[in-house]
Each structure stands twice: as C-alpha cells, then as structure tokens.
Amino acid sequence: MDYIHIDDLRVSGNHGVGEEERAKPQEFLISVRLGADTRKAAGSGQLEDTIDYHDTLKLIEHVFENTSHSLLETLAEHIAAEILQDKRVSSVELTIKKTGVWRNGIPGVTILREQVR
C-alpha cells in the first residue's frame, strides 16, 4: 500500500461541546494519511494520476470553516467520508488535535476508515 500524507496542518474552526468553544474559532492540528496506488502517477509524472495534496488541504479547510461539530470524533468522520468520495483513495487515517485547550498535553482523536468496495 502506498500513502500520501499531510502532517501538522493548522486549521481553525468552531468545534466543541460547550457554547464558549463554538463561539470563536480555535486552532486544530491535522494529520492525514491517504492509502492510494501511486504507481500510475510514478510512471506518468502527471498530477491527474494521483491524489492532489492541495485538493485534500482545501477539503479539510472547507469542512473546518463551514461546519460545527461538538465532538472531534464526529468532525473526523465527516472529513474521512468526504475524502473517501474519491474512489482512488482506499483508506484514510486522520488525526485531529485540539491545541491550546490544556496547559500540559494536547487532546485528540485518530480514526482509520477504509473504502467500501
């Protein structure tokens, strides 16, 4: 299995359980790993034969900026489902960390979802 990944993407959004958490944007740290066969792109050297990092980045930013979820788990499921709309992606491993919540430590969630064949 080949993987395309983006690590430590900083995004802002209004997500959280309490009203105060959703009242103003907070910073999140995202890492995503997409399972995909990259052999065609490796042979052709063409961007259209692979998963474009920029498209994935824009999708994640769009979900963060235009939705509001109480739980990181729900937010992660939403993003993973959107990414898996691209049938070239066989799996998504997504980590969301909520920075700035605690003085010591960073809470987060990691999910792994696979394409339904």
Which residues are known to be catalytic? Answer: 98
b or e along 74-113 (b: 16 or more beta carbons within 10 Å of the residue's beta carbon)? ebbbebbeebbebebbbbbbbbbbbeeeeeeeeebbeeeb
Query: Residue 47 gets which letter from DSSP?
Result: G
Nearest partner of 71 among 91, 100, 96, judged by Cα: 96
SS3 of 105, please? coil
Cβ 78 vs Cβ 13: under 8 Å: no
Q: Which residues pair with 6 in a beta bridge?
A: 32
